[in-house]
Amino acid sequence: MNGLVCGIDEAGRGPLAGDVYAAAVILPEKYTLSGLTDSKKLTPKRRDVLYGEITRQAISFCVAVATVSEIEELNILEATLLAMRRAVDGLTVTPERLLVDGNTARGFSLPAAAIVGGDLTEPCISAASVLAKVSRDRAMTELDTLYPGYGFGKHKGYGTSLHRKALRELGPCPAHRALFIRRVMGICVKKGTGGSKSPCNT
């Protein structure tokens, strides 16, 4: 037994667009990560600083994704768990146990415990929260260049008034989650390379 604990957290379960990200982080017994907490409570600048510090100090870390198509096929919970398992599989060091933020921890090949609010109480989960959040935010900024007009760089795919206005005007693009869009706005997503919109018949 090596006694190492790995923290796991996700970013992007709720947005209308973009992949869901997960990170797995094993911190050393002694680390210096000032102000480490749930990534949502940190400013973007502080998250970026901590991202660099975490990746330098961690014994091992990995960030993984489940794609929009996998979210559509599996549902968001199962896709999130898939991304989490991929993150664990990508570690270069095998931990003894896993601590997963939230209320679900299943399908892992290692002992895993779910901790509600763990991103506030467990430093390794907080670190994973930061890596997942920063990685996803950066990816959404890149999507903003690929699909201009939706404001992905600002709202990161969440259902803000700006995002919904763009959806009404432009229709969804391939980066959007079809089932989410249909459920929230009643707009069907047609697969293709550009935006499209049509009312759902059912």
- Domains of the chain, with CATH numbers? 5-144 (3.30.420.10), 148-199 (no CATH)
Which candidate, 6, 41, 53, 67, places its Cα nearest to that of 133? 41
Question: Of 107, 93, 131, whose CA–CA distance to 8 is shortest?
Answer: 131
pLDDT tens across 62-74, in order? 999 999 999 999 9
**Banded pLDDT at 189 (limits 50, 70, 90):** low
Could you give phi then psi for residue 183, rounded to 5 degrees?
-70, -40
The answer to whether the beta carbons of residues 8 and 22 sit under 8 Å apart is: yes
* DSSP state letter for 23: E
| pLDDT tens by residue, 18-55 | 999 999 999 999 999 999 999 999 999 999 999 999 99
Least confident of 2-6, 155-159, 195-199: 195-199
**How wide is the angle at C-alpha 44 spanned by C-alphas 50 and 140, nearest 5°?**
110
Adjacent-strand bridge partners of 60:
26
Closest CA to 69 of 182, 197, 190, 175: 175
Half-sphere exposure of 56 (CA within 13 A, CB side): 9
pTM summary value: 0.91
Residue 202: predicted pLDDT: 35
